[in-house]
Amino acid sequence: MKSKLLEIANWKLCSIRRSAMKQLPILEFSVLVCLLLPPLIYGQTLKVDVNLVNVFATVKDDRGNFITDLSKEDFRVYDDDQLQDVRVFEKQDKVESSIGLLVDTSGSMIDIIPYVRRGVRDFTRALPKNDDFFLVSFGTTVKLLHTSKQPLKHLEESLAGLRAWGTSSLYDGLLYSMEKIEKSDHPRKALIAFTDGNDNGSTIRHDRVVQEIQESAVLVYFVAIGSAVLVDSHTLESLSDISGGRTLYVPKQDAIAPVLEEVRTELGRQYYIGYYVPRRAGFHHIRIEVPGRDVKIRAKTGYSGG
């Protein structure tokens, strides 16, 4: 009985510690505000309503090589053209990730799914042990097939069970996966969707997906199998661009695995940048610069406040 009580006590203590660690950026800001403001008169209420804006930035040189030696002082971050004070900064692969893998199972994917199976298998095996992931299929319906909390055998069974038929409900799959991944405690959240065509079966509209991406910090990547002419390149690129992710075109099926490795490498080379702003409604533009360096920066272009 004593050992059981001790186990429960330890579990609660760990939960409290984890909760405290998650709140550290907010607590740090709150303490700073209290130190800077004058004492309150009795009966007054101090209300500080702020947002922590998180941005993941990929920085490359003109040859496409990752630049990973930048410090916080090298960056200039603007929110609606106002220079911001960067309060959160991490680089390299020090940030834990939650990743959603979305597989188009419409009828046209029948010859492609075997290569997707192989790519997903290799990708998940190479993930750092503290990262988590889940697997979703979107065809005529959207299904959650696997999470990293389940045994590896279950993943193999889920991949083996992928069958191509019916329509493609890409938007429904994205919305479902965004709602799921937002529940993760990991700072970096990314969705990687495999598709060879257009959405022709979703119950929600394109503008709803755009809104959800703008209101979240989720990176969206598309692995588009086939040429940009055959897939809806405009839609895919617009959705990935506003999130800070990108669309990668795979002309040949056997190139899926290398492209996935490219995405995994990119996620591990990003800079994690955070700053605080007052909570405001409407859309707000983000601009990131590295003065004095000839670099190309890809990051989320803005966010919707509320």
**Each residue's pLDDT tens digit, 2-18:** 444 444 344 444 444 44
Q: 287-292, long-range: CB within 8 Å, 24+ apart, which pairs?
A: 287/77, 287/78, 287/81, 288/55, 288/57, 288/75, 288/76, 288/77, 288/78, 289/75, 289/76, 289/78, 290/59, 290/70, 290/74, 290/75, 290/76, 291/74, 291/76
Torsions phi, psi of 173, nearest 5? -65, -40
Question: Does 21 score more than 90 pLDDT?
Answer: no
Beta bridge partners of 196: none
Which residues, 6+ apart, have CB-to-CB distance to 276 below 8 Å?
Answer: 29, 50, 51, 52, 53, 85, 87
**Each residue's pLDDT tens digit, 258-304:** 999 999 999 999 999 999 999 999 999 999 999 999 999 999 999 99
pLDDT at 254: 85
Domains of the chain: 1-48 (no CATH), 53-92+269-306 (no CATH), 97-267 (3.40.50.410)
**Each residue's pLDDT tens digit, 54-88:** 999 999 999 999 999 999 999 999 999 999 999 99
Place of tokens 């429960």: 8
